[in-house]
Every structure is written in structure tokens, then in C-alpha cells.
Amino acid sequence: MSVSEMFAALQGALGQDQDIREEIRKVVQALEQTAREILTLLQGVHQGPGFQHIPKKCQKAREHFCTVRTQMESLKTKFPADQYYRFHEHWRFVLQRLVFLAAFVVYLESETLVTREAVAEILGIEADRERGFHLDIEDYLSGVLTLASELARLAVNSVTAGDYSRPLRISAFINELDSGFRLLNLKNDSLRKRYDGLKYDVKKIEEVVYDLSIRGLNKEATVGGGGEK
């Protein structure tokens, strides 16, 4: 094979790779748009009246995840099944965002932490790496850390809305989450930096709870019961 023939073959391979990346980008853009729609919907819970409509907003978000599952099915067909990590960078950010959104919906519904397997089911992908397009553990953990930041914000807005029991429940949840992360030996630099931010979320929520205690509103929250979810 001549030099020109060798480079012609290389150009063909490069062109094929670029075509795959372009097809992936198109689907990822659609996923990002759906994620923005879900986020916009869920942001309504931070406003006063939004607390009364949490079940309805969660139901609407669940409907949007049907679109996510369809888009994920399309994404799976855009690259060779054995090259997940070669193209992973293209969808890593939006997948982490979708994990956060799924985790937020589940928390609003039941005030529990969604499992990686449950998130994978919500998104229409696999939890097991050996079974193909899957939810990487680090992507799951990144999404959960974003949830912690969102709940810190929710704790503050709960007080503004007059819901004094919710910050207490959020505090208990975040402290349990922090204890769980402390069990992990995180090697990933990006994930490690994200985890370092968790202590600020813990501190922010502790300040909210302390303020409630000083004002005597934590007793009112306890007497008033768990409040609406």
C-alpha cells in the first residue's frame, strides 16, 4: 500500500468517526432540551405556592422522562455498543443532569435517595456495565451531589414559604448522604472536587436549622408534624 493509499484509508476512518460524533451530538442536544424542560418544571417547587403542587409537578416530570427514554433509545444506536467510553464525554454532562433530576423527583415524592438501578430504569438505560449503555457509577454520584445543592436551596425557600419541618427533614437526609460519601475512597478528581462542595451544603442547611431553633420554630415544626411532601 502506498503512502497516499494509507492516508486515504485514515481519512476514511476519521470521517466515519466524525459522522458518529455528529449523530451523537444531535441526540444529546435533544436530551439537553428535555432536561431543561424538566428542570424548569421542578424549579417551581422553590416558590411559595409550588409546595402545594409538588405531586403534580413530579407527575409532569415523570411524563417528560418518557421522552428521555425514547431519546436514550436513539442514542444507543448511534455508536458501536463496545465503544461506550470512547464517546462517553459527549453525553456525560447531560446524563449527570438527568440523574440529578430523577433523584430530585424521587426525593420530592418520598424523601428518599434513589438507587442507581432505579435511576437507570427511569432513564431507560442499564445499571450493569456488561449489558451495554449504562449509568456509570461516577455519573450517578455526580448527580446525587447536585441533588444535595438543590436541597440546600430548598431548605432555605421552605422557611420563606412557612414550611418549618421540611428543613429539619432535609438536614437529616443530607447528613446521612454525607456519611455515605465518607465511606467512599474517591479517586476521580472531578468527583472529588464536587464532593468537597457537599460540606458547604451541609453547613448551609445547618445554619437554616439553627436559625429555626433560635426562633423557636423547630418546636412548632415538630408539634405540627412532618408537613406535606
Contacts of 207 (CB under 8 A, 6+ apart): none
The helix/strand/coil state of 215 is: coil
Place of cell 464517546: 87
The H or E element containing residue 127 is none
Torsion of CA 173, 179, 184, 190, to 10 degrees: 60
For the chain, what's the residue count? 229
What's the chain's Rg over C-alpha atoms?
Answer: 21
Contacts of 76 (CB under 8 A, 6+ apart): 125, 132, 133
Classify residue 161 by its DSSP letter: T
Cα separation of 42 and 102, whole Å? 11
- 150 annotated as ligand-binding: yes
Cell numbers for 96, please give them.
Answer: 449527570
What are the binding residues for Mg(2+)?
A: 150
What are the binding residues?
A: 150
